């Protein structure tokens, strides 16, 4: 029994089949955002006779999906608008709030919806009548343009809230407190995704491309323990992570829609028909997200993604002439080169933006640590303030971040040529003819148990060497134990953040050139990255002081003030209209 998404024929949109408990339905039709599409597309005239490129039925199906007009849903002519007087204040706050949480840019809006829902649930546990204030908050913060959301969206969003809260209450009843919290968290995450989809219904093409990538790469791995279904689910999750850069919340919602396709069509009054399966689907999704081989599988597929990124860019930049481009090698080569050069240039901008966000986060966190821990310890325990450790602790982490980011180089022409050759293969590839060549278990375990054990022991030894050297150097500079701990905390955190920031340059890299000493340097640098990863995921994600300050001390009173001011402006506007 295998869970698979397949293109049956080159139709207007991909079709999916039901296998076992998973059902993949036809892509929903949503209005598209055509503002970013150029009105005219200039195709360079080939300098020689047309060189045909073989195009598979799978690629033809994707082209059909991309070029077919999508049915637009009716929207209310009456739009929701908010006061621009208070919008700037909310917008500024959201910018500062998002700077203290390391998150992909395209995931920020969904996370903001979840955060607003959590805050409003403090006083309204069952979410009654919170759709309108939720939408207004999103408009204040300029996550959506003012006056672009119809008033009918209020009832749609409220219906989604009522539906998921009904499901949450039904499957939580009688369960232990810990399980109820997990169900509540799952509910908020998938609900925030559906609300974002309601307010910005622009996912048909995105999903079509994700399914296209999934079809072409999933057979590259052999089944997990002879279980094709498990392999296919993990392959889909890996594609969501490696290609779409989805977080777990988005993946949960994608899997929920695939396993329960009717979930977006029902209301709380008709939710009884999915209730018997909802809890089992929830458990299956949670189990799939913590599969022991998930990281290995993601990394395996991640290396295959660069040509798909560029191919998607070509689709997005040339939606009307994409079929002509893919069938002519000369034009395709030009478009690949154009897309690659544009991406390489944008990579530099993304590095700067993400570097600045990380810099702000580190500086703000460092200031709080200095005033709460470091200076009080020096004053009341050591009885003297050591200025050198404080200065080094303030200057060195941002300096390290800057050095790492400035040292990054973007791919070149050789990389572009490789991507072009890969894309030609992708366009003509038929997944049915692909034979699995890599075993998940062998890929995860490595070639030799003996060597793996020896290298692991040596790897653990590098922790002692690396951190021992850091502590020894800090002791020579008269760092006390607290200052040493703060220095290690921020250096490991900065190293990990810098690693994640610079990783965006590898998204388009298929030609990886390493220096002769790179493996040795990486081996001793890995302990720092691992500790930084643990601090980021296990400590800061759960005990982030800055997030606590923003969410519980600043945001609630600030948004209340903004709401009052907005209502006052609206009241004054109505009174002014009465005079006219």
Kindly state whether residues 456 and 507 are assigned to the same domain: yes
Kindly state whether residues 224 and 352 are assigned to the same domain: no
Place of tokens 């999916």: 16
Judge contact between 31 and 70, C-beta under 8 A.
yes
Domain presence at residue 38: no
Query: Dihedral angle at the C-alpha atoms of 297, 303, 307, 312, nearest 10 degrees?
Result: 40
Q: Which residues pair with 227 in a beta bridge?
A: 224
d(CA 265, CA 271) in angstroms, rounded, equals 10
d(CA 325, CA 156) in angstroms, rounded, equals 40
Domain presence at residue 438: yes
Kindly state whether residues 165 and 230 are assigned to the same domain: yes
d(CA 475, CA 465) in angstroms, rounded, equals 15
Q: Which residues pair with 328 in a beta bridge?
A: 52
Which residues form the domain of 478? 319-543
Kindly state whether residues 308 and 364 are assigned to the same domain: no
Among 282, 316, 350, the domain-final residue is 316
Look over the chain and give the mean of its residue pLDDT values, rounded to a whole number: 80
The per-residue pLDDT for 13 is: 36
Judge contact between 375 and 385, C-beta under 8 A.
yes
The per-residue pLDDT for 160 is: 96
| Number of separate domains in the chain | 2
Kindly state whether residues 457 and 478 are assigned to the same domain: yes
The per-residue pLDDT for 21 is: 33
d(CA 44, CA 131) in angstroms, rounded, equals 49
Asked whether the CA dihedral 378, 379, 380, 382 is positive or negative, the reply is positive
Among 543, 558, 575, the domain-final residue is 543
* DSSP sequence for 80-129: P---HHHHHHHHHHHHHHHHTS---GGGHHHHHHHHHHHHHHTT-TT-TT
Kindly state whether residues 164 and 303 are assigned to the same domain: yes
Provide the 10 A C-beta neighbour count for residue 237: 24
d(CA 70, CA 27) in angstroms, rounded, equals 11
The per-residue pLDDT for 6 is: 37
Kindly state whether residues 337 and 305 are assigned to the same domain: no
CA–CA–CA angle 187, 128, 88 (5° rounding): 85
Residue pLDDT, tens place only, 246-286: 999 999 999 999 999 999 999 999 999 899 999 999 999 99
Kindly state whether residues 328 and 276 are assigned to the same domain: no
Domain presence at residue 49: no
Kindly state whether residues 309 and 326 are assigned to the same domain: no
What are the φ and ψ backbone dihedral angles of 273, each rounded to 5 degrees?
A: -75, -20
Domain presence at residue 47: no
Among 283, 316, 349, the domain-final residue is 316
Asked whether the CA dihedral 345, 347, 353, 359 is positive or negative, the reply is negative
Domain presence at residue 550: no
CA–CA–CA angle 382, 387, 391 (5° rounding): 130
Q: Which residues pair with 23 in a beta bridge?
A: 18
Judge contact between 87 and 146, C-beta under 8 A.
yes
> Pick from 250, 395, 110, 288: which is nearest to 101 by CA?
110
Task: Encode 438-474: b = buried (16+ Cβ within 10 Å), e = exposed.
Answer: eebeeeeeeeeeeeeeeeeeeeeeeeeebbeebbeeb
Provide the phi-psi class of 45: left if phi over 0, else alpha when psi is between -120 and 50, else beta.
beta
Domain presence at residue 577: no
Domain presence at residue 455: yes
Task: Encode 476-490: b = buried (16+ Cβ within 10 Å), e = exposed.
Answer: eeebbebbbbbbbbb
d(CA 135, CA 120) in angstroms, rounded, equals 12
The per-residue pLDDT for 9 is: 32
Kindly state whether residues 385 and 263 are assigned to the same domain: no
* Binned average pLDDT, 10 residues per bin, the chain of 580 residues: 37 34 36 38 49 85 82 71 80 78 81 92 86 92 88 94 95 91 95 94 84 91 83 94 93 95 93 92 95 90 93 92 91 94 83 71 70 78 79 80 76 90 91 70 60 78 89 89 86 82 79 63 80 74 65 76 77 71
Kindly state whether residues 356 and 479 are assigned to the same domain: yes
Judge contact between 119 and 140, C-beta under 8 A.
no
Euclidean distance between the first and final Cα of the chain, in Å?
Answer: 70
Domain presence at residue 1: no
Place of tokens 């982490």: 397
The per-residue pLDDT for 70 is: 62
Kindly state whether residues 285 and 379 are assigned to the same domain: no
Residue pLDDT, tens place only, 187-200: 999 999 999 999 98
Provide the 10 A C-beta neighbour count for residue 250: 22
């Amino acid at each position: 029994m295998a869970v698979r998404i397949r293109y049956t024929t080159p139709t207007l949109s991909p079709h999916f089949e039901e296998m076992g408990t998973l059902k993949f339905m036809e892509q929903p039709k949503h209005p598209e955002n055509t503002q970013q599409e150029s009105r005219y597309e200039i195709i360079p005239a080939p300098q020689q006779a047309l060189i045909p490129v073989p195009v598979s039925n799978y690629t033809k199906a994707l082209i059909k999906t991309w070029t077919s007009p999508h049915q637009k849903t009716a929207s209310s002519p009456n739009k929701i608008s908010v006061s621009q007087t208070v919008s700037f204040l909310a917008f500024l706050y959201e910018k500062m709030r998002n700077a203290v949480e390391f998150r992909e840019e395209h995931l920020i809006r969904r996370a903001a919806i979840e955060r607003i829902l959590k805050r409003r649930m403090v006083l309204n546990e069952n979410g009654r009548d919170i759709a309108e204030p939720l939408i207004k908050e999103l408009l204040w913060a300029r996550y959506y343009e003012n006056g672009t959301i119809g008033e009918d969206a209020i009832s749609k969003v409220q219906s989604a809230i009522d539906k998921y809260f009904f499901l949450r209450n039904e499957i939580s009843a009688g369960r232990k407190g810990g399980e109820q919290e997990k169900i509540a968290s799952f509910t908020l995450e998938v609900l925030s995704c559906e609300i974002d989809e309601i307010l910005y219904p622009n996912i048909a093409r995105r999903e079509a491309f994700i399914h296209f990538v999934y079809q072409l790469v999933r057979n590259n791995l052999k089944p997990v323990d002879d279980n094709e279904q498990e392999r296919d689910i993990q392959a889909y999750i890996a594609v969501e992570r490696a290609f779409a850069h989805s977080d777990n919340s988005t993946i949960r919602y994608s899997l929920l829609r695939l396993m329960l396709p009717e979930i977006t069509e029902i209301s709380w009054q008709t939710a009884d028909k999915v209730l018997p399966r909802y809890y089992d689907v929830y458990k299956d999704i949670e189990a799939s997200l913590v599969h022991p081989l998930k990281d290995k599988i993601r990394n395996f597929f991640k290396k295959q993604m660069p040509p798909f990124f560029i191919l998607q860019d070509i689709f997005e930049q040339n939606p009307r002439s994409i079929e002509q481009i893919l069938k002519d090698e000369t034009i395709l080569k030009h478009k690949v080169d154009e897309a690659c050069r544009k991406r390489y240039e944008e990579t530099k901008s993304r590095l700067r933006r993400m570097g600045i966000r990380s810099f702000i986060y580190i500086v703000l966190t460092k200031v709080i640590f200095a005033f709460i821990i470091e200076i009080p310890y020096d004053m009341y325990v050591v009885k003297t303030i050591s200025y050198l450790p404080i200065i080094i602790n303030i200057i060195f982490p941002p300096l390290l971040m800057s050095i790492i980011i400035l040292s990054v180089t973007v791919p070149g022409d050789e990389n572009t040529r490789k991507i072009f050759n890969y894309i030609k293969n992708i366009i003509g590839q038929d997944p049915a003819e692909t034979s699995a060549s890599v075993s998940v278990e062998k890929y995860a375990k490595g070639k030799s148990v003996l060597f793996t054990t020896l290298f692991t022991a040596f790897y653990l030894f590098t922790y002692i060497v690396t951190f021992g050297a850091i502590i020894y150097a800090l002791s020579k500079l008269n760092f006390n134990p607290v200052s040493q701990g703060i220095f290690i905390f921020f250096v490991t955190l900065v190293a990990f953040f810098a690693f994640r920031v610079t990783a965006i340059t590898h998204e388009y890299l298929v030609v990886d050139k390493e220096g002769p000493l790179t493996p040795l340097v990486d081996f001793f640098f890995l302990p720092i990255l691992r500790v930084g990863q643990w601090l980021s995921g296990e400590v800061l994600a759960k005990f982030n002081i800055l997030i606590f300050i923003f969410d519980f001390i600043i945001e609630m009173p600030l948004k209340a003030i903004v709401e009052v001011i907005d209502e006052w402006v609206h009241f004054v506007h109505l009174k002014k209209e009465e005079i006219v």
